[in-house]
Amino acid sequence: MPAVPSFAVISGAQVLDALHGREKYVIDLIERAYGTHAAGATVNPPSYFLRFPDRPSSRIIALPASIGGDVRTDGIKWISSFPENVGNGLPRASAVLVLNDHDTGYPFACLESSVISATRTAASAALAAAALSRDRGRPKRVGFIGVGLIARYLHTYLSALGWTFEETGVFDLSAEHAAGFVSGVEPAARVHDSAESLIRNSDLVVFATVAGSPHVHDPAWFAHHPVVLHVSLRDLAPEIILDSVNIVDDVEHCLKADTSPHLAEQATGNRDFLDGTLDEVLTGAVTIPADRTVVFSPFGLGVLDLAVGKFVYDAVTESGGLNEIPDFFAELNRYERAR
């Protein structure tokens, strides 16, 4: 009979410690996870959205997944997005990640996962920025639209690539949040008074908002053909998507839930506007032209959370800091009651 895995709880502080200073490694880890996914060695079902009639702006999302390769772990991320939290001094998102043993199916760890989620999102976007800029030169001006936790992590991961910028721009509907990003993350950043101003003055544009529907409609704002990291997925109107080169992390996942690419599909009745996946760019199967705007729209795959979460679990175990819960699984005998 296989041994029953122990069960451990890993705190956010432990997650932060395990990931600190390992940005380059995590970017490589994410690239390998994309390769594993492209090779068919993952299971990544559609995400499930729990929505609330009395709280229409809020949701909780379940992302079940399984990844093979070197990770060999199953699990699920349970992540909430409650935008009203921000006004009350709490982060918008909170999450846990449960890891399940590959052979027995037993859960063996529960990890605080808002940090893991932000990390895999930032690492994925930084990886995309490097790949999409490969044939057009490193961007000199970066602009962030929406400056919450994800923007801060993205700034860290772009810096981990060794990238420096001649100018960093920020725009947020909240002047307070924009000022907080400048004071806490990038003191030299320029605060723009409109999304148009920021986009027109940026070679690399990062959307990290909580927008539920498109608020950027004019393709002329992108006439200089920037690279766009469309992390928040619902900022761009279909006319901008249709005027751009479009790269996604996974076609089926990205074209649902009224993302901007999904709206473009609904408007056209086809998916001809899609040019490929990030893995296809990384492997050279898709080449990015330098004379068009390119938009990366990552829906966010649960297998990425598993890859980062398993790395954290292994790092905490190796450090001797694993907080195991004795007798978490108590009823293990089919015929005798646990005592």
Are 25 and 167 contained in the same domain? Answer: no
What are 139-188's pLDDT values in tens digits? 999 999 999 999 999 999 999 999 999 999 999 999 999 999 999 999 99
Region of 311 (left: φ > 0; alpha: ψ -120 to 50; beta: rest) is: alpha
What are 78-127's pLDDT values in tens digits? 999 998 998 888 888 999 999 999 999 999 999 999 999 999 999 999 99
Quote the pTM value. 0.94
Domain with residue 50: its CATH number is 3.30.1780.10
The verdict on residue 164 lying in a domain is yes
Give the DSSP letter string of 37-80: HHTT-EE-PPPEEEE-TT-TT-EEEEEEEEE-TTT-EEEEEEEE
The verdict on residue 331 lying in a domain is no
The verdict on residue 334 lying in a domain is no
Q: How far apart are CA 314 and CA 262, in angstroms?
A: 37
How much is the average pLDDT of 282-308?
96
Structure tokens at 243: 């005027």
Structure tokens at 335: 């015929």
Q: What mean pLDDT is reported for the chain?
A: 95
Are 85 and 137 contained in the same domain? Answer: no
Give the count of beta carbons closer than 10 Å to the beta carbon of residue 192.
21
The verdict on residue 78 lying in a domain is yes
Are 103 and 137 contained in the same domain? Answer: no
Q: What is the pLDDT of residue 305?
A: 98
Give the count of beta carbons closer than 10 Å to the beta carbon of residue 122.
29
Are 29 and 109 contained in the same domain? Answer: yes
Q: How far apart are CA 193 and CA 171, in angstroms?
A: 7
Domain of 256, in residue numbers: 120-297
Q: With b meaning 16 or more CB within 10 Å and e meaning fewer, what string describes 123-159? A: bbbbbbbbbbbeebeebebbbbbbbbbbbbbbbbbbe
Are 166 and 278 contained in the same domain? Answer: yes
Are 107 and 169 contained in the same domain? Answer: no
Percentage of the chain lying above the pLDDT 70 cut: 98
Residue among 17, 127, 24, 47 at smallest CA distance from 301: 47
Are 90 and 133 contained in the same domain? Answer: no
Are 83 and 112 contained in the same domain? Answer: yes
Give the count of beta carbons closer than 10 Å to the beta carbon of residue 24.
14
Q: How far apart are CA 97 and CA 302, in angstroms?
A: 10
Indicate the number of domains in the chain: 2
Are 75 and 124 contained in the same domain? Answer: no
pLDDT at 234 over 80: yes
Q: What is the pLDDT of residue 66?
A: 98
The verdict on residue 251 lying in a domain is yes
